[in-house]
Structure 1
Amino acid sequence: MSRLFFSTLLGLVASSLVLGHDSNDHGTFSHPASRVRPRFRYWLPDASVDADVVIKDIESAASIGAGGVEFLPFFEYGGQIGRKPPGADWSAYGFGTPPFVDLFEKALKAHEKEGLVMDFALGPNQGQGVPAHPDNEGLQWDMVPFTEEIPARGSFNNKIPGWGTGSLVSLVTALVKSNQSITYAGVGLFGVQNVTYNEYRLSHKTLKEVTGQVDQRGYVKLSLPQAPKGSHYRLFAFYEKLTGHKNLNFSPTEHGTIFDNGSYAVDHFSAKGAAVVSAFWEEHILKGEVPGLLAKVGNYAWEDSIELTYNGTTPGPYKCILDSEDEGIGYINDFRATLVDGYNEYLTAMADWVHDVLDVQLSAQPVYGSAMDALAAVPSVDAPECESLGFEDKIDSYRSFSGPARLSGKRIISNEMGAVRGSGFQFHLPHLVFSVNRAFLGGVNQMVLHGQSYSGTYYATTWPGHTPFNYLFSEPFSPNLPSWSHGLKETMDYIGRNQHILQESISKADVVIYNKESSTTIRNIYQATDLLTEGWSWNYISADNLGLEQTVVKNRVLAPDGPAWKAFVVESSQNLTLEAVKTLRSLARDRLPVIISGGLPAYYSAGDRSDKAEFETELSKLLRSQNVYSIAHGHVADKLKSLGLRPQIQLNTNGTCYTSWSEAGKVGYAITYSDLVRSTGSITVNSIKMPFYLNAWTGETTPVLVYKRDRSTTTIPVNLSGNQTLIIAFGDGLQKQVPVPRYHIEKVPSNVLGTRFISGRGISLHVAQSNNPSQAVLSNGKRVALDAAVVPSAFRLSKWGLTVEHWEAPEDHYDSENTFKYNTTHRLEGLTSWSDIPALVNASGIGYYTTTFQWPPSGTQGGSKSLGAYIGFSKVIDAIRVSINGHKVPPLDITNAVADISPYLREGKNSVVATVPTTLWNYIRTVITELETAGSKPLPVTLQQYGLPLAGRTEAGLVETVTITPYKIVVV
């Protein structure tokens, strides 16, 4: 989780695909190895919990498709959102204590036994520090400002403001030309509150440092000119001090060891902070079998975003701006660049120790939570991590984050996935798939799900168990949720198979776009629609990334061994650094197209802007250079086409789609994602290798049978539901594992619902009812008439029986390991949400839906031998499992829940069983005032006191329509 938790409170009140060839690291597409599967962030309450339950939780995660857990000692978010519960002893069972080390070792052994890999936090809470002595110089420092007006006569002979706060860093005098009091309305937990600060406009020419004139007692004697009328001089004093900020804070009963003090955040802007962490681990944790187990099953040593508390998190008592052209922005930019340098020093030192001593790699959320350029720090982390919460599921923001990672050769781009404000116990799996798909299309290839809860009993905790973030954020996955054993595995497998492809291969993109910010923002950066509409893919990189050794051009391609960008785009809304302009000239000389879009980019202010004249000279040279093109805004795609370039995957669809291309040896992978609404049409891929569909829900690989090929491209029809992805592999060697016909189909009518190659027989077409004569066109020139007039029409299923297994709190609410379950039965003419059924309006649990239908439908001509059928569910709220006549149907794509059920049909009555889990919310909201976690009431209850209503009921069960669509089998 990130610092956004607190803003939330404020805002709330050859490549071996592959198919059957197993790789030690990646497994196969159908059965990905643990290392490439999704993992859960596992929230350990503290080290006093039952080790057997922890082991059972790890085993349970493995059973539903997780590749392991990210072991996170939570301690109620370090004691920041919940207090130490009654009975807990965080001194005796804190991070690094002997009980913790014993539990840590057992968790590692559980991973070894199950064939999993384990990530682990470097410290408690979010990994941002460790227990230490409070005067350790490697802990977090802060800069504390003070100011005082100098008397009008211009003389000052007194103690400087703030003396004694810390070590004096700087004392500055300046003429204040004007000042104003600014008030704005801030929305906080307790309602709207006014925030007021003073804004001083300083004469930049009068800034003068006088630190050396301060004596040992903190006095200074100054004589300044008389200030002009309406202005005055001020002193500005800056001190540095250890903040004492703790990432584990509680009130101890003793002060005998460092564990009694909780845990302190370390300095993140020098190697000293990393030294504190490494020294603690080597003294307290790397004991017994732990080092050897880390070498075997350890994966990533992890830290979240920069979760530190700073003095200046709000404007504070004052804010200064200069009267210079840029109002001092150049100095702010320099300051932030200095912070990035210090932060990269910290990351590098931490990574070196993690590699050399722990024999694992480092993962962190670089910069996130602080005002710096995140893109400048991404290359310093082995597995840089972003998060769906802070990135707001924006594909463009993911593409920005992944750009420098791809350029610098990172194999893994991780994501803290699935945290949604206000969605605790009401998080639906299609929402998870939506977020996951968008991250994949943005360049992410490893999901760490937020998260998995400890399933055992804990102090002052009721059913349904320990709930991090006090019920506010999604999702406390555990066996205590209905979906855990009734559908979550299918989604986990879907994620794992996608990750197998994306980690096995090297992601490519068509173009790269410049994006330099001194403080990264989450937004859609490229605003024009031309690139997206035509299927172009892109990344972003910052000026800081242009100095990486991988920034080389070969055969007019930038970073050919990595993302292989074919052009570099700079928009007029961007600010170029001097060095960036020089690098762009160099890239253009190497024949990489550089496109300046929408007008001239601006100067990126640095320091006193003394290099601006040189910048303007260099920019003029750049604009006159060969391979540099100036165009109007929104016409980048046109210019690319005029240069003879085309996207790797061209779109011709009626909806918005995103594309992704990656390569593993001689195999290429095309992924197309339909954003929000259905998209139909076609994609044209720059490959003429044999295409294969990869079904990430079932693990099945089948040949693409309908496509058109010219000398260099393959065009394939697509029909995608909103939020659905399509994965196609291109590789001539794959037919050795998956049989393919000697011919294919070039064109079919829209009532052909599917195709299948039957070895020895040919290609079978599944032709639905249509009164319009049609035909299929084969690649060998043959045309086949498709008469479907006598095929039975589609029909809806009705008259459902429903057995509900209710999941409720036990009589003893503190018996959190057990759920009270009982069944009720219901008859339904149609399908509607449980929240609309009076008897189920407050129910949660599992629904078992049953009905029957006659096969073949009455009035069918010619019997059923040449017929088959699809079953389709118009909407899936959470998850679904289906069986026909007792035969389990392969996992359904919950974004388009359609399956061919022909193998399971029999003449006469056919039975359908659909198993559907729900979230726990509709029941929990009825008893939420009776619940607590670690001694705290659920936050939704607390927030009601401040006018925020409890969230309403959510949809549950099987809804809308279920349709059987018969088809005629035509073999061509």
Structure 2
Amino acid sequence: MEPTSYQRPRVGGVEVSWLGADPIPGEDIGQYRFGSKIWQDRFRYLVAEAERIGLHLDFTISASWPCQIPGLLPSAPAAAVELVCGIRLLEGPYCGSLPPPLSAPSGQSLGLSDLASPLEVVAVHVVKVVLDAQSRPLADNGEPDMRGPWHLAGTDGPAMQELEVSGGEVRVEASHLTPNHPSVGHLLVASYSRGTAQHKSIWEIHNDTVYLEPRGTVVDHFDPEGVEVVKAFYQTTVFDESTRQAFGRIQSSVFEDSLELHHTQCWTPRFRTSFMELRGYDPTPFLPLLHKRFRPTAFSPDLHIIIPAGREHNEDPHRFLYDFRRTLSDLYIHGRLNPLVQWADTNNLKFRCQPYELDIDAGLAAALVDLPEGEMMMLQTLNFRDKRNAFRLLASGRDVSGKRILSDELAACIGMAYTMTWKKIIQTANKDFALGVNQIVLHGMPYRWSASSAWPGYFPLLPDPPLPSFSDAWDERQPQWAFAKPCTDYLARTQSVLQAGHAVVDLAIFHPALKGIDVHWEDTSLSSAGYTFGFLSDGLLGLPSLLVSGGRLCPDGPAYKCLIIDNQLEMQVDTAQTIFALANSGLPIIVVGDLPTRALGLAEDVAAVDFQVQRAFVDLLRLPHCLHVTDIKSLVNTLQAAAIMPSVGYEHRDNCWLHVCRVVGHETWYFILNESDCRQSQVVQIPCKDRTTIYNPWTGSFSPIHDTVPSAPGRIGVPLDLGASQAAIIRCGLGDDQFLEHGACLASITAMRNELKDWTLQVEGWHPAEPKEAGIASIKTLIEKIGPIQLAELVPWTDIPVLKQQSGVGEYRTTFRVSPRMRRAFLEFHPDQTCTMKVMIDGNVVDGDIVGLGPLEITRALCEVTEHKLSITISTPLLNAMRALYPAFANCPTQSYGLLGCTFACYE
């Protein structure tokens, strides 16, 4: 750990993750791996050092991810397993050996290729499939492709028949086959359980690094055995009484990343027993339906090998597949998450977790862990991707369970190493704050150097064509790091507001549990009308804490005013009955579109459970406070006709503004975001009877709001002027603060604007001091003085030949005059500007928004004189310099650095 790197920008905490080793040539790499003696010593050192400097310390549950444990062989009871199959196309009766698996262990790679993954036969079936010319799957050589897809035949008799296995052989009699049917064929399907041998993330395509010492594999995520092996590892290595006590003092958490599991089909050795206990029937007759093709990477399609016929022929396979997914979700939540939460608690830790990537009830998982976390990866192929409602779902789990934190792995952007800016970080954080996030974990900070590192230092996430990079390497190697403190202060102050009290949310929308974080709600009319909303899954609705009082759901928490059910044709019986019970307790419910008609899951009497679902909604709609609308477009009007009003009102109904609301004692706080890509102004109506102030998280100061406008009874109209992705924080309550003389972020009278010209620019270009050296020499930076450069007008550095390939720091100087009648004054910056700034007037630093999201007020910095000296120092990312040095960066687009425009705005 390098403490000064964290202390300079006043970072409050750090998450420590082991991502590999880069030893001196000739050294044994194993001595540095996760689990080694050196690793254990460094772990204890990190804990002690964090306590010494007052740093909050989290650590990942294992090296890389998913969770993997040293010495855990693929054959061990606690190792991750998968369900795989071997298939033989039968020409008639058969007696012989079982067909081998269609693929090698899905997680196997060069790093662990010599570790065996023994097979265990789970079941063997004869499966009837459609074998006509159109449905027969063919390989490139024209032979039948055993990987399918094969379509289950809908002939008389069972389509799947289980066979007995004796001595590794099986007998298929003529009675198992359908004779003389030209379009029906028969497959011999052997289902096996096998260790995945996974030792790296499914996203790591070409990485064969071995992370563990001794070598080991990923744990079973669906059985408590996978937790027990984690507990045993830590108890026998680095957990002792001293360390446990230190965890409590430095508020440590153990973190588990998203479920990036390699598997053909998820499985666990005790699945059959658990399934029978949870679902009430044996899954074995349906096992052939579970098999999938091997996926070499996360980008590969997820394809079933055997496809059931449509529901009109037989619903049982479809209902079974739901029960299978529901059982995996239950096993993960109750067999892994709950035990890990309990284990963390016994060691003075909190458990932070990203509970997604599989079809699990992510909302319920978020409610059960101590610290749920999401991420904004900025890559459309990832499950979480740019889905705002995924955050809302996790926030709902946090809120209904009475937890405080929703964490956010921020700015882990693919292809953006040495490209990320603080402006982009603040903009993205603001958007996530408006969706319920209230803790930022910035990605990431590597060690300064390694044995083979090149300038500007060690970074394990550099581009390795064809693979892109990940952002970013934050420390002193970056010119922007010297400007980090105002930005981290902004994030810390905003988090402090959003962690206080509890969230209040207008509406809850039902979200089917097994869709995970894939929340489909594309309509924007609710947020445009001023409503906030969250999503409640089946598991969340089943929590005993979800009570109704005074027409509000969870009245001491989010206090939802209404539950919305949107076009759900199927639903779990217990969920339908719970929703009716909530309605019967006085909660308004609006059903949009079609009513549910089918129960999810297989039952002995399918018609009876279907009727229970139908009956629940028929009875619900008889209640006077429950409504049915045919189209989502009428939802806002229906809500307002029922006197279910939004928490705030916007002047413009067609807008891109979002907000969240927190209640802290007798105060109510609003975080209001302009999510659009341009500056916008409008009046926001807020329910408030007490004093209203605006909070500036850049400075930590409050200002009174003087220029409110007439509004509806019980509300005030606050005019706001916000830049793209800029936010305003408004407090309604009885605060006792020392106000500044002027407010900020408020729309006001028209300003007199003057674009500032005639600048002098002095640049410090950053380059490697020893470009051919590796190791500790790689962190040495040579500062090249360039300038002064006279600029009549501001232009990007790429338009100035001497700066075209430069990264570093630039200082701009000019003068401007102020009218003696000036009441308030601002600097306004070009919206495309990305660089971080330090603004000084007459030698004094001006505190405030240093990334240029909105106007920077400079009123207090102006003294009696009419002419003032202005200095604006900007810092850049390193990309343009990296493009000139390294071929791996050559194809990255050049960034437009520099001060792109600056206007003085004066209000008289």
Normalising TM by the smaller chain, what interval?
0.7 to 0.9
Query: Is the contact made by 1:808 and 1:821 (CA closer than 8 Å) also made in structure 2?
Result: yes
User: How far 1:298 moved relative to its partner?
Assistant: 4.0
Query: Is the contact made by 1:530 and 1:637 (CA closer than 8 Å) also made in structure 2?
Result: yes
Q: Match of 1:723?
A: 725
Matching of residue 489 in structure 1 with residue 490 in structure 2? no
Matching of residue 507 in structure 1 with residue 503 in structure 2? yes
Q: Match of 1:121?
A: 60
- Determine the C-alpha separation between the residues in 2 that align with 1:577 and 1:954: 52
1:352 to 325, 342, 362: 342
Q: Match of 1:245?
A: 198
Query: Is the contact made by 1:340 and 1:377 (CA closer than 8 Å) also made in structure 2?
Result: no
Matching of residue 956 in structure 1 with residue 907 in structure 2? no
Amino acid at match of 1:262: R
Matching of residue 158 in structure 1 with residue 96 in structure 2? yes
1:403 to 396, 399, 420: 396
User: How far 1:240 moved relative to its partner?
Assistant: 0.8
Query: Is the contact made by 1:274 and 1:349 (CA closer than 8 Å) also made in structure 2?
Result: yes
Q: Match of 2:794?
A: 831
Q: Match of 2:540?
A: 545
Query: Is the contact made by 2:17 and 2:64 (CA closer than 8 Å) also made in structure 1?
Result: yes
Amino acid at match of 2:838: R
Q: CA RMSD in A?
A: 2.9
Q: Match of 1:454?
A: 447
Report Cα offsets for 1:78-118 as digits up to 9, x if no partner: xxxxx988556442111132211221222222221222211
Equivalent position SS for 2:150: strand
Matching of residue 817 in structure 1 with residue 779 in structure 2? yes
User: How far 1:967 moved relative to its partner?
Assistant: 3.0
Compare 228-237 and 719-728 and name the one that shifted more: 228-237
- Determine the C-alpha separation between the residues in 2 that align with 1:647 and 1:538: 10
Matching of residue 469 in structure 1 with residue 461 in structure 2? yes
Report Cα offsets for 1:395-432 as digits up to 9, x if no partner: 22321232222222221111111111211111122221
Matching of residue 655 in structure 1 with residue 659 in structure 2? no
1:900 to 858, 864, 871: 858
- Determine the C-alpha separation between the residues in 2 that align with 1:203 and 1:508: 52
- Determine the C-alpha separation between the residues in 1 that align with 2:252 and 2:430: 24
User: How far 1:317 moved relative to its partner?
Assistant: 8.5
Report Cα offsets for 1:765-800 as digits up to 9, x if no partner: 99666xxxxxxxxxxxxxxxxxxxxxxx43221111
2:879 to 921, 939, 948: 921
Query: Is the contact made by 2:701 and 2:740 (CA closer than 8 Å) also made in structure 1?
Result: no
Report Cα offsets for 1:567-611 as digits up to 9, x if no partner: 000111564222222111111111111101133345353136553
Query: Is the contact made by 1:881 and 1:891 (CA closer than 8 Å) also made in structure 2?
Result: no
Matching of residue 619 in structure 1 with residue 582 in structure 2? no
Matching of residue 301 in structure 1 with residue 254 in structure 2? yes
Query: Is the contact made by 1:514 and 1:574 (CA closer than 8 Å) also made in structure 2?
Result: no
User: How far 1:706 moved relative to its partner?
Assistant: 2.3
Query: Is the contact made by 2:23 and 2:450 (CA closer than 8 Å) also made in structure 1?
Result: no
- Determine the C-alpha separation between the residues in 1 that align with 2:155 and 2:592: 34
Q: 1:613 to 1:170 in 2, by over 3 A?
A: farther
What TM-score do you get using the length of structure 2 for normalisation? 0.85
Equivalent position SS for 1:670: strand
Q: 1:852 to 1:873 in 2, by over 3 A?
A: same
The percent identity for this pair of structures is 23
User: How far 1:206 moved relative to its partner?
Assistant: 4.5
Amino acid at match of 2:844: H
Q: 1:555 to 1:226 in 2, by over 3 A?
A: same
Amino acid at match of 2:167: Q
- For residues 324-335 of structure 1, the aligned pairs below 5 Å read 324-325=311-312, 328-335=317-324
Query: Is the contact made by 1:571 and 1:601 (CA closer than 8 Å) also made in structure 2?
Result: no
Q: Match of 1:789?
A: none
Query: Is the contact made by 2:504 and 2:559 (CA closer than 8 Å) also made in structure 1?
Result: yes
User: How far 1:698 moved relative to its partner?
Assistant: 1.2
Query: Is the contact made by 2:531 and 2:648 (CA closer than 8 Å) also made in structure 1?
Result: yes
> What 5-or-longer segments of structure 1 have no aligned partner?
1-53, 77-82, 186-193, 253-257, 742-753, 757-763, 770-792, 857-863, 930-937, 942-949
Q: 1:85 to 1:674 in 2, by over 3 A?
A: farther
> What 5-or-longer segments of structure 2 have no aligned partner?
102-116, 202-206, 265-293, 296-300, 464-468
Compare 838-847 and 544-553 and name the one that shifted more: 544-553
- For residues 293-692 of structure 1, the aligned pairs below 5 Å read 293-311=246-264, 312-313=294-295, 314-315=301-302, 318-325=305-312, 328-344=317-333, 345-356=335-346, 358-366=347-355, 368-389=356-377, 390=382, 391-455=384-448, 457-471=449-463, 472-485=469-482, 487-516=483-512, 518-520=514-516, 522=518, 525-572=520-567, 575-601=570-596, 603=598, 605-607=600-602, 609=606, 611-633=609-631, 634-653=633-652, 655-676=655-676, 677-692=678-693
Compare 879-888 and 422-431 and name the one that shifted more: 422-431
Equivalent position SS for 1:246: coil
Equivalent position SS for 2:423: helix
User: How far 1:199 moved relative to its partner?
Assistant: 3.0
Equivalent position SS for 2:720: strand
User: How far 1:295 moved relative to its partner?
Assistant: 2.5
- Determine the C-alpha separation between the residues in 2 that align with 1:619 and 1:394: 30
Equivalent position SS for 1:348: helix
Report Cα offsets for 1:219-255 as digits up to 9, x if no partner: 3343314342210222222111222222499688xxx
- Determine the C-alpha separation between the residues in 2 that align with 1:209 and 1:317: 16
Query: Is the contact made by 1:202 and 1:320 (CA closer than 8 Å) also made in structure 2?
Result: no
Equivalent position SS for 1:444: coil
User: How far 1:329 moved relative to its partner?
Assistant: 2.8
Q: Match of 1:870?
A: 826
- Determine the C-alpha separation between the residues in 2 that align with 1:170 and 1:100: 43
Amino acid at match of 1:635: S
Q: Match of 1:9?
A: none
- For residues 32-51 of structure 1, the aligned pairs below 5 Å read none
Equivalent position SS for 1:963: strand
Compare 793-802 and 868-877 and name the one that shifted more: 868-877
Q: Match of 1:31?
A: none
Equivalent position SS for 1:235: strand
- Determine the C-alpha separation between the residues in 2 that align with 1:206 and 1:406: 51
Q: Match of 1:216?
A: 167
Which structure's residues are more often strand, by fraction?
Answer: 1
- Determine the C-alpha separation between the residues in 1 that align with 2:835 and 2:48: 33
Equivalent position SS for 2:7: helix
- For residues 688-767 of structure 1, the aligned pairs below 5 Å read 688-707=689-708, 708=710, 711-732=713-734, 734=735, 736-738=736-738, 755=743
Amino acid at match of 1:474: S
- Determine the C-alpha separation between the residues in 1 that align with 2:331 and 2:10: 39
- Determine the C-alpha separation between the residues in 2 that align with 1:533 and 1:557: 23
Amino acid at match of 1:920: L
Report Cα offsets for 1:253-297 as digits up to 9, x if no partner: xxxxx9544332111001110111110001011148433322221
Query: Is the contact made by 2:341 and 2:350 (CA closer than 8 Å) also made in structure 1?
Result: yes
Query: Is the contact made by 2:411 and 2:471 (CA closer than 8 Å) also made in structure 1?
Result: yes
- Determine the C-alpha separation between the residues in 1 that align with 2:15 and 2:322: 35
- Determine the C-alpha separation between the residues in 2 that align with 1:710 and 1:316: 56
1:807 to 759, 766, 769: 766
- Determine the C-alpha separation between the residues in 1 that align with 2:86 and 2:158: 16
Query: Is the contact made by 1:437 and 1:723 (CA closer than 8 Å) also made in structure 2?
Result: yes
Query: Is the contact made by 1:91 and 1:262 (CA closer than 8 Å) also made in structure 2?
Result: no
Equivalent position SS for 1:966: strand
Equivalent position SS for 2:30: coil
Query: Is the contact made by 1:462 and 1:816 (CA closer than 8 Å) also made in structure 2?
Result: yes
User: How far 1:810 moved relative to its partner?
Assistant: 2.2
Amino acid at match of 2:759: W
- Determine the C-alpha separation between the residues in 2 that align with 1:181 and 1:703: 74
Matching of residue 292 in structure 1 with residue 245 in structure 2? yes
Equivalent position SS for 2:237: helix
User: How far 1:360 moved relative to its partner?
Assistant: 0.8
Q: How many residues matched?
A: 818
Equivalent position SS for 1:822: strand
